[in-house]
Amino acid sequence: MCGISGIISSADVSGKLVESLRNLEYRGYDSCGIALLNGAGATVRKNIGYVADVAEKELFTDVKGRVGIAHTRWATHGKVTSGNAHPHLCCGGKTAVVHNGIITNYRKLKSDLIRKKHSFKSETDSEVVAHLIEENLKGGGSLEAAFIKALRMLEGSFAVAMISPGEPEKIFCGRNESPLILGLGENENYIGSDFNAFVEYTRNAVVLEDGEYAVVSREGYEIRRIGDLEPIERDILRIEWDVETARKGGYPHYMLKEIHEQPSTIGQVLEIPEEHIREMAEKMLSARNLFLMGVGTTYYSAMMGQYYFSSIAGIPAYALSSDEAPESASIGRNDLVLAVSQSGETYDTLRALKTAVKNGARTAAIVNVIGSSMARMAESVIMQGSGPEICVVSTKAATSQMLTLMRLALEVGALNGAIKPARKKALIEKLNGLPSVISDFLNEYSGFARSLAQRHAGHDSWLYLGRGVYYPVALESALKVKEVAYQHAEGMPAGFLKHGTIALIDDKIRSMVFFPPQAEKELFKTTVSAVEEIKARGGKVVAFHSSKSLANSGLLDDQLLLPKAHPFIAPIVSIVAAQLYAYFTATALGRNVDKPRALAKSVTVA
């Protein structure tokens, strides 16, 4: 997802464009740029990084102009380089273009243009638009005609905006399947991917529909159909909501939005090409020791990975908390360190990764933000492709990391013969079914998670317990309620309890227990006995489980009865259930869900 913005005014617009980019940053932020018309050409400034940093480094506001366009990029595929950032210029340096979407026929268009002596500076599909317009102008005719002709040649999805000194008092824009909206101000007009692009300047907007283009001037605008140039009359929309509401897509909080995005972010992980997974798996197999490293939630993702590597791949993969990694593990030559990080900038993980490099270890990373330090530093990288995660508390990024590790464990297991091809195929099918399992779960169980949370929100001292892979599930779930609901929750292996902590049990401290499916007989049985130990000491037990007979046994004080799921994917269902539980606990307690106290999205300090 990318963000487009444009402003035409009677005064300099560079400052407003930067502000507009900042408001669009939530759509993606690996690189950004602006183009302004002044004099004979369009001046372009662009680079990789956050809007605020790039704007400062590239002196965006030193460029002056009354007409400008801007772009913020979140690459899901392809490199993050300054050259690939928008805006793009034509060969003559006059026409500047920004684009959001995917032009499916760009290869053909590009080779045609190259044959006509156009030279390309980027690897993007977007740059063809600038050259197409330049090419179309060669036969004479107006800029508008050249623009329309170019749009008609594009296949796929696009929202495009263009400025050129040939028509210095106009912004041209058009769309097909990617959003584009006009904003109407006083003697100043705007375009944007969504209302956030200009919501600080005007609340009057006009929506462009698929297959339409608009010519925007300071005084007004004209919308026509790209196909037959039929003029379009459209009502002006009055925006009656605040910026945050629009950004959250109507969800009350980013956290809930991101929880609900998981069916598709998990789908993204399943679409990572198998070769890519195999390449990483081969490296893992050839390593002397394999370390999975993260901190906070990513440490728990790594720990889930440890259990899957053990049970599926039959090899040890040690999960390390990266803040302790340099001291707790002697990482050396021929070891492989796989770092897990949403931002790719986490200080502790970065430091551990650097130490590993220094010691001669090989490095790999699972990262969400393209172009981040870890993405650049690690020898091999898997991009999890979860899209921007805005809520400080990680949800969709975490499940995607777990899924990536599960795919890696399967691949390693298949390569070293720990699992047979038929079993691998069967488990991959389970993984492929996960998006719809999660989607059904979110739809059909949200109410139960909320009721459970409301019944227990008042209790602020908890033990979170699980055995096997449900131990990291318990740790991660405890972290969620700590982060967002400020409840004290201590995650612990259920078997560990009796070696000390059980002395805490009374009727005030509550235990949240995560059960495996009943099909995992041994694990299930030992989890039941942990619950019995707590009950025998007068403790109260709430459980996440999927066993009807357990539900009717009278052993539990309260529960969330989960849908039945295959043991391979059931831990992920529990994680998502615990995310909802933490969310509804936080809302019941009136917490600041998206920005919990004392927490920052990406911890880049020691």
Partner 1 sequence: MKALILAAGGGNNMAPFSVSRPKPMLHIAGRPILDYTLEMLRESGFTDVNIVRGPFGDSIHKHYGTGAKTGLNINYIHQKKAEGIGHAVLLAKKSFNPGDHFLLIYSDIVTDDNILSNVLQTFHFSHLPTAGIVLPEETGSFGNVYLDRDMRITKIVEKPKRKDLGNYVLAGAFVLPYSFFDLLRKAGGDMMRAFAALIKKEGMKASIWEQGWIDIGYPWDILTANRVIMDTWKYSMVHRDINVKDAKIKGPVHIEEGVEIRSGAIIEGPSFIGRGSYIGNNVLVRKYSSIGPESIVGFGVELKNCVIFGKASVGRLSYIGDSVIGMNVGIGSGTMTINQNIDKSEIAVRFNGRKVKTGMDKLGAFIGDGTVLGGGHSIRAGSVIGAGLTVPHHHTYPPKGR
Q: Which of 352, 397 has the CB closer to partner 1? A: 397
Identity of the residue, 178 or 373, whose beta carbon is nearer to partner 1 in the bound complex? 178
Binding stretches for partner 1 (CB under 8 A):
195, 207, 237-241, 245-246, 249-252, 256, 260-261, 263-264, 439, 442-451, 587
**Which residue reads 């156009």 in tokens?**
118
- Considering the complex, what minimum distance in angstroms separates the CB of residue 335 from partner 1? 39
Peptide bond into 435 cis (omega under 30): no
Identity of the amino acid at 477: S
Contacts of 306 (CB under 8 A, 6+ apart): 292, 316, 317, 318, 319, 472
Smallest separation (angstroms) from partner 1 to the CB of 261: 5
**362, 351, 395: which is closest to 586 by C-alpha?**
395
Give the CA angle between residues 261, 265, 268 to the nearest 5°.
150
Half-sphere exposure of 336 (CA within 13 A, CB side): 19
| C-beta closer to partner 1: residue 147 or 445 | 445
Q: How far is the CB of 449 from partner 1 (least distance, A)?
A: 7
Question: Residue 242 CB, nearest distance to partner 1 (Å)?
Answer: 9
CB nearer partner 1, residue 338 or residue 560: 560
Across-strand partners of 48?
31
Length of the chain: 606
Q: Which residues contact 436 (CB under 8 A, 6 or more apart)?
A: 263
Selected catalytic residue, list 2, 32, 173, 391:
2
Closest to partner 1 by CB, 256 vs 427, is 256
**Is residue 423 exposed (0-12), middle (13-18) or buried (19+ Cβ within 10 Å)?**
middle
Q: Which is nearer to partner 1, 382 or 580 (CB)?
A: 580
Q: Which CB sits closer to partner 1, 315 or 588?
A: 588
C-beta atoms surrounding 362 within 10 Å: 20
The shares of helix, strand and coil residues in the chain, as percent rounded to the nearest 5, are 40, 20, 40
- 90: annotated active-site residue: no
Least distance in angstroms from the C-beta of 591 to partner 1: 13
For this structure, is 173 an active site residue? no
Q: Which is nearer to partner 1, 219 or 444 (CB)?
A: 444
- Which of 260, 510 has the CB closer to partner 1? 260
Residues 6+ apart with CB under 8 A from 115: none
The three-class DSSP label of residue 475 is helix
Q: How far is the CB of 445 from partner 1 (least distance, A)?
A: 5
Q: How far is the CB of 567 from partner 1 (least distance, A)?
A: 22
> Which of 64, 79, 424, 601 is an active site residue?
601
Give the span between the Cα atoms of 14 and 117, in whole angstroms. 33
CA distance 450 to 433: 25
Are 47 and 99 contacting, i.e. CB atoms less than 8 angstroms apart?
no
- Give the number of other CB atoms < 10 A from CB of residue 561: 16
Can you say whether the dihedral through the CA atoms of 262, 268, 274, 280 is positive or negative?
Answer: negative
The nearest distance, CB 232 to partner 1, in angstroms, is 15
**131 contacts 103 by C-beta, under 8 angstroms:** no
User: CA 471, CA 512: separation in Å to the nearest integer?
Assistant: 12
SS (HEC) of 533-589:
HHHHCCCEEEEEECCHHHHCCCCCCEEEECCCCCCCCHHHHHHHHHHHHHHHHHHHC
Nearer to partner 1 by Cβ, of 228 and 240: the residue is 240
Which stretch of DSSP H or E encloses residue 159? Answer: strand 158-163
Nearer to partner 1, 56 or 444 (CB): 444
* Helical ranges in 242-346 per DSSP H: 243-247, 254-260, 262-270, 274-286, 297-308, 325-328
564: nearest Cα among 545, 582, 551, 550 = 545
Q: Tokens 């028509």: give the residue.
A: 167
Active site residues: 2, 601
